[in-house]
Structure 1
Amino acid sequence: MTVLVFGGSSQIGHFLLPRLLASGEPILALSRQPRPPQSGVQWLQGALPDAVPALPALSAIISFGPLQALAGWLAQARLSDAPRVIATSSMSAETKRDSAVPAEREISRQLRDGEIALAAACARHGCAWTVLRPTLVYGAGLDRSLTPIARRAMRLRLFPLPSGQGLRQPVHADDIAQAVLAALDCPAASGQILPIGGGERLPSGQMFARVRRSLPRATVPLPLPAWLLRMGRQLLPPLRGPLSRLDSDLVADNGELHRLLGVHPRPFQPESSMWIPPR
């Protein structure tokens, strides 16, 4: 049997593919960009919900892309069996539900609608499914949250340090990959939406300070007081949402993750290599 991976070149896919290869199952992986040959992995180029070439019998479908696109493809896909489906959503489905920014409320709605659509598409095929909702993901230098901050600071030799006290729970992409593999072998996780955060909750200011300490270049700390952040919310509309959440807790309850999958994510101890994308 074969495992089909959508988003194999993503930050989670970067850690998942070697783990899947170790299990010995053939892998089909879809990527938007051409990928170099890789032993044990057959790369397909494309993007969902576009049609995927005729597929062999699948033991599992794993996706790290948009849920609506996956659900749309599944709705019209021809599957010879009922493969297990594991997909990632985001804790933004909850944390942005009541955002003061309309665009963020829309993101939350789309995520939740995508989860519902995926469950319905899986039901039509008789596929068991599990959705993982990660918090802030890091670890491969491919994220759009902490890595851009780290690179900008290295370039400018200046590191802004916001004054927020809201708790954060960054989760390493490899811990999500481990949770995906655990879910494949856990019938009790079927039909579940499982939050997954890192193994440590820390104030947002402390999170940024740890990123700064991990950089290979010295940077000058630039404290950003609360009054300046309030001004930023008014003058910089694109940053209104992130700045308004600096004093809000953005965390996940890992209780079901521990109980069902036996996965215990690592604490947040970033290293300089985590801000460099893989080649």
Structure 2
Amino acid sequence: MPESASSLKIIVTGATSIIGHYLLPRLMNAGYEVHAISRGGEKNPAATGNTLIWHQADIIHPEQLPGVKARALIHLAPLWLLPKLLPVLNTCRIKRVIGFGSTSLFSKANSPDPCERELTVRFSKAEEAIRHHCGIAQTNWTVFRPTLVYDGVRDKNIKRIASFIRRYGFFPLVGEAAGLRQPVHADDLAEACLLALEQPATFNRAYNLSGGETLTYRQMVERIFSSLGKPARFIILPPWMFRGAIRAMTFLPGKRGMTPEMATRMNADLCFKHADATRDFGFLPRPFLPYAKTCRSSPDGWK
């Protein structure tokens, strides 16, 4: 561990996010002083201690970023907000940046939904800007692109499916729902930050980070049924009916993020290899075990 005071400090934007929930305790346990950024002043209840300092700031306004001379910035907020922060980081002499994009960069590039296509453009432009600005400033950057992120509590994907199952006792599918998925646990992504932080092999590279298990959409939902202690019950719908139901649901509170394209994607493969991450910094994600407290039983696996 570097000895200077500044090299023991890490700034974390998006600190109250699902990944931040797991990252902050990991950073403190590793001996870092963590400067966590929160837009609304809320704090992460999972992380407390003398080495955790909270700052209220809206990073849409880069000048609000605290002038902390730190070892690195780990950016958990939307990736497209990072490029505007980079000039401020230069004034703080921060030379290491880790940010999170998404494999949606690839999987939604040809989506019929214009909002989803616009999302991929934002990710692409953000990565390009990070490469450009960090290259000029000689800042070592790494971008992680996770697949479907979950922890069963704070995520928007697995939690949504589980909530539906709890309420209705069944789940609707389109056709065979045979599209392949690789859910990745938020804690594994937090660990990836620690593993890559001081690893030169990861400098100035982007990595796809997928989960430790590949399964069909139907198998994924069956696993959620099982983890809830419920028998798997499905209603198979034609695509037009499923799309209509989703369109109707978008008018309900908290459902605006749902799109009709979800019906098509149930039978589309959304798989990305993480072999480069395993090779360069030892990324070994757990299998998909929703609502199970998994821990690493050996250097090579989880139980």
TM-score, length of structure 1 as denominator length:
0.89
Output the CA distance in 2 between the equivalents of 1:59 and 1:182: 15
Q: What does 1:24-103 correspond to in 2, within 5 Å?
A: 24-33=31-40, 34-35=42-43, 38-39=48-49, 40-50=51-61, 51-103=63-115
Identify which of 13, 21, 25 aligns with 1:14.
Answer: 21
Change (3 A) 1:178 1:108: same
Q: Which amino acid counterpart does residue 259 of structure 1 have in structure 2?
A: R
Q: Which amino acid counterpart does residue 162 of structure 2 have in structure 1?
A: A
Whether the 8 Å contact between 2:180 and 2:217 is mirrored in structure 1 is yes
Change (3 A) 1:20 1:235: closer
2:298 corresponds to which residue?
none
Whether the 8 Å contact between 2:152 and 2:290 is mirrored in structure 1 is no
Output the CA distance in 2 between the equivalents of 1:197 and 1:168: 9
Change (3 A) 1:263 1:197: same
* 2:276 is equivalent to residue 256 of structure 1: yes
2:134 corresponds to which residue?
122
Whether the 8 Å contact between 1:137 and 1:172 is mirrored in structure 2 is yes
Whether the 8 Å contact between 2:13 and 2:76 is mirrored in structure 1 is yes
1:179 corresponds to which residue?
192
Q: What does 1:188-207 correspond to in 2, within 5 Å?
A: 188-207=201-220
* 2:245 is equivalent to residue 231 of structure 1: no
Change (3 A) 1:53 1:73: closer
Output the CA distance in 2 between the equivalents of 1:100 and 1:134: 22
1:130 is displaced (CA, Å) by 0.3
1:221 corresponds to which residue?
233
Output the CA distance in 1 between the equivalents of 2:66 and 2:118: 34
SS in 2 for 1:239: coil
Change (3 A) 1:236 1:46: same
User: Any gaps of 5 or more consecutive residues in structure 1?
Assistant: 275-279
Output the CA distance in 2 between the equivalents of 1:138 and 1:53: 28
Change (3 A) 1:213 1:16: same
SS in 2 for 1:209: helix
Q: What does 1:134-153 correspond to in 2, within 5 Å?
A: 134-139=146-151, 141-153=153-165
Whether the 8 Å contact between 2:57 and 2:65 is mirrored in structure 1 is no
Q: Which amino acid counterpart does residue 97 of structure 2 have in structure 1?
A: V
Identity of aligned residues (%): 34
Identify which of 168, 182, 188 aligns with 2:181.
Answer: 168
SS in 1 for 2:80: helix
1:54 is displaced (CA, Å) by 3.9
TM-score, length of structure 2 as denominator length:
0.82
User: Any gaps of 5 or more consecutive residues in structure 2?
Assistant: 1-5, 248-257, 295-303
Q: Alignment RMSD, CA only?
A: 2.2
1:76 is displaced (CA, Å) by 4.2
Identify which of 104, 107, 128 aligns with 2:119.
Answer: 107
Change (3 A) 1:239 1:224: farther
Deviations 1:131-189 (A, max 9, x none): 00000001151111111221232233443344310100000111111111111121111
Output the CA distance in 1 between the equivalents of 2:244 and 2:150: 29
1:277 corresponds to which residue?
none
Change (3 A) 1:5 1:239: same
Deviations 1:108-140 (A, max 9, x none): 111111111222232343210000000000115
1:272 is displaced (CA, Å) by 6.0
Q: Which amino acid counterpart does residue 164 of structure 1 have in structure 2?
A: A
